[in-house]
Structure 1
């Protein structure tokens, strides 16, 4: 079984119809207290508060199950050299993705300053991610044992430089952005410099070097990847370097945050994310000991990429204006679509890349939530964005959450909440994807990122629009 076969194994809840599944009484589904992997008093307090704040029993049950799911089921704590170490699995895959692990703990960040347990968790994850980057900045996923070779069946035969400790070696720009986002968020929330030691500083130097390498201004760079697979999105063209580009200052990405290969290597949402991350890294440089010269290098690269995005990342919106492409090659070719995985075009304001009221973003947002996007699906169960990773007809709840997080429209938010509330197939959890007509058909019953993001979405609404939850 390869990864795609694992992910696309559709799960049916007996022979129930979609309406029967929706009518079921929801179950909370949390592990018994003694079986929970990690406990935060602050998180438990939030759950108790939200139990009183959310008027809809089904929505309340979903929040209570989803919000703590990362802590309940995915944390493996330890020590390295006497310091905390946090290994955070995705859920159903025993590996740490730099992207997923960062996003999984992100909703707990507002609580971290006053909760020692969360501080230890964040310190341990920031340190673990730094060590992972030093193993291989081109890898997207890592094993708990840094001396072990990959145990993921789909990665064992990959034609690339697989190192001990690496679970999968797909180069994705966002894999290096997310650890910066997490570190910046932690430092901003706490002022605690504990995790920012020589190891972390060395990892950040490697991040900057890798981004510059993947501008590929003078050569193809050191990264190649090929996989023997039936799906073309599992491998890279042209001997593992990807499709050709004109060198315009953007950063190449082999793969999208879905772990699917890019059609054109300049992935626009991920380049936007890199600009944000580089500026965050520069802002942290003095406090973390990276220095003023390093900060200036980060800002210079961010400015270069930002200029290139504005020069080469925009396409006509068909209404006399401009919108963002999803991928470009620098020769004038562009792909328009969006994928539910973040970074996405829809998620640009969520990541701090653009303002939510920016006209170009508004045009882009309207287009990705329409039939202009080949991965926008609409059926009896709801509407939303999917992606080629799971295929046609499959809506990712993550896209609905991101629609809510980037919206101020009450009707739009309410409609998206209703879809999320009625498409869990009675399991009490979010899934990776569900069929547009039958939510009893879904992928990944244990997908912690989606659960965490749902918790974050509900808390965001509680702060912005509590009446929609009452």
Structure 2
């Protein structure tokens, strides 16, 4: 399967470069042939036809058709193992599964799971696979299905376990495992996924969160990589900068896979608060374990209180806002990153409602010139990331800006920028140069593709008139 996926990626990339302009303007579908797709969902295909026919701008309709099903078309390995569904989803041009990416890649399909039994089984299989990953190593962020495969990072210290691609400790990796299972349960009412292994994994997640509060000043976690990139490894023998244990959870890496500057990553801590409260609800209402539910609630309250005390501050222009990172000593870093969780994504994730005062003040800061990682160029304006340097904008950041907006003009602006920066490929990329969209990174980034599909789905539901414009 992986070989076929890689072949598709190479062919699609070469076609995007070599096609004459006239052919590109014909907007021919870039989906692989039906018999070469890695997974097929009738509900998804019906939704594509419904929305594509509604969109008046032919280029945007084409982009939606290419992007929305990209995860299903190119990245899914589904089978039944030991009588249970098992789904392994690679991130795209990197042949490994991230806990974060795999949840985000299937998220836009979740509203359709009750319309397609096959799709529902695929999601159930991903829950099962993620549980296996957590039980293998709760500190790892990316995994192989083949336990005999050797990672390109095999010289990282400590030595990787078989089946681990990379061991960057990111709070959000574990949060996404909870997020997927909870959403599946909320939509389907199917509690069968909360089996013995799932329970073990959830308890390990909570244990890991508590360990990384580092209340005794120690951690079993280390990550050392020989590299010329400063962002590839935490300082001080892979343990990060000093912290004062105030109740927040340390994260050695951001969801961009870059090392944190200050160990308390605020959006990821708030994501953990949400995940812990979801677990408390499940263990109260479905699994009848009030003791563990109480443990989750108490930890959520502790982390939240610490964030509000040690992770917010008065900005000279915007008032009290969230910092991006903190250390518990009163030092804070103010910025945001295009990856999710980010500060701007807090309403997208459901932690905040649009309009909440501290969120709105923070959001106003984030899309201003005061945010050092918000770039404006000749091609577009939007979020960047230290992961890709000081001149690159991430389509994902533009998408999240639109998904967290109630302003139709702002959403329309974001749609226009996405339409004019895909460099004729019909797909989203990891990033593009702010002045030259043809200079981009990652031609096959399934998360960004399906997130674009999710945006179009949201606009179709909430602001359909925007999709009725013939030239966005």
TM-score, with normalisation over the residues of structure 1? 0.94
1:158 to 152, 156, 162: 156
Residues 429 and 334 (structure 1 numbering): CA distance in 2 closer, same or farther, change over 3 Å? Answer: same
Q: Deviation digits for residues 240-261 of structure 1, max 9, x if unmatched? A: 1100000100000000000000
- CA positional deviation for 1:21: 11
Q: Deviation digits for residues 308-366 of structure 1, max 9, x if unmatched? A: 01101112221372111000011111111110000001101111122221222112112
Tell me the residue number matched to 2:3.
Answer: none
State the distance in 2 between where 1:118 and 1:311 align: 43
1:340 to 338, 344, 351: 338
Alignment of 1:90-169 (within 5 A): 90-145=91-146, 147-151=147-151, 153=152, 155-169=153-167
After TM superposition, the structure 1 stretch with the greater mean CA deviation from structure 2, 195-204 or 278-287, is 278-287
State the distance in 2 between where 1:238 and 1:149 align: 30
Tell me the residue number matched to 1:414.
Answer: 412
- CA positional deviation for 1:26: 3.4
Relative contact order (C-alpha < 8 Å, sep 6+): which is higher?
1
State the distance in 2 between where 1:56 and 1:235 align: 44
- CA positional deviation for 1:140: 0.2
1:400 aligns with 2:398: yes
Tell me the residue number matched to 1:248.
Answer: 246
Preserved contact between residue 44 and residue 112 of structure 2 (Cα < 8 Å)? yes
- CA positional deviation for 1:14: 5.6
State the distance in 2 between where 1:301 and 1:255 align: 21
Residues 381 and 133 (structure 1 numbering): CA distance in 2 closer, same or farther, change over 3 Å? Answer: same
Preserved contact between residue 345 and residue 365 of structure 1 (Cα < 8 Å)? yes
State the distance in 2 between where 1:222 and 1:140 align: 16
What is the DSSP-based 3-state SS (H/G/I as helix, E as strand, rest coil) of the residue aligned with 1:298?
A: helix
Alignment of 1:214-225 (within 5 A): 214-225=212-223
Tell me the residue number matched to 1:65.
Answer: 66
- CA positional deviation for 1:236: 1.1
- CA positional deviation for 1:150: 3.5
Tell me the residue number matched to 1:371.
Answer: 369
What is the DSSP-based 3-state SS (H/G/I as helix, E as strand, rest coil) of the residue aligned with 1:431?
A: coil
Aligned residues: 455
State the distance in 2 between where 1:93 and 1:284 align: 34
Alignment of 1:448-459 (within 5 A): 448-459=446-457
- CA positional deviation for 1:79: 2.1
RMSD: 1.9
Preserved contact between residue 318 and residue 362 of structure 2 (Cα < 8 Å)? no
Tell me the residue number matched to 1:196.
Answer: 194
State the distance in 2 between where 1:133 and 1:228 align: 26
- CA positional deviation for 1:288: 4.9
* Over 4 Å off, 4+ runs: 11-16, 20-25
Tell me the residue number matched to 1:8.
Answer: none
State the distance in 1 between where 2:326 and 2:254 align: 13
Q: Deviation digits for residues 71-114 of structure 1, max 9, x if unmatched? A: 00000012221111100000001111000000000000100012
After TM superposition, the structure 1 stretch with the greater mean CA deviation from structure 2, 272-281 or 361-370, is 361-370
Tell me the residue number matched to 2:291.
Answer: 293
Preserved contact between residue 21 and residue 425 of structure 1 (Cα < 8 Å)? no
After TM superposition, the structure 1 stretch with the greater mean CA deviation from structure 2, 49-58 or 177-186, is 49-58
Tell me the residue number matched to 1:89.
Answer: 90
Q: Which ranges in structure 2 are unaligned for 5 or more consecutive residues?
A: 1-12
Preserved contact between residue 149 and residue 163 of structure 1 (Cα < 8 Å)? no
TM-score, with normalisation over the residues of structure 2? 0.93
1:432 to 430, 433, 438: 430
Tell me the residue number matched to 2:306.
Answer: 308
What is the DSSP-based 3-state SS (H/G/I as helix, E as strand, rest coil) of the residue aligned with 2:437?
A: coil
State the distance in 2 between where 1:62 and 1:279 align: 37
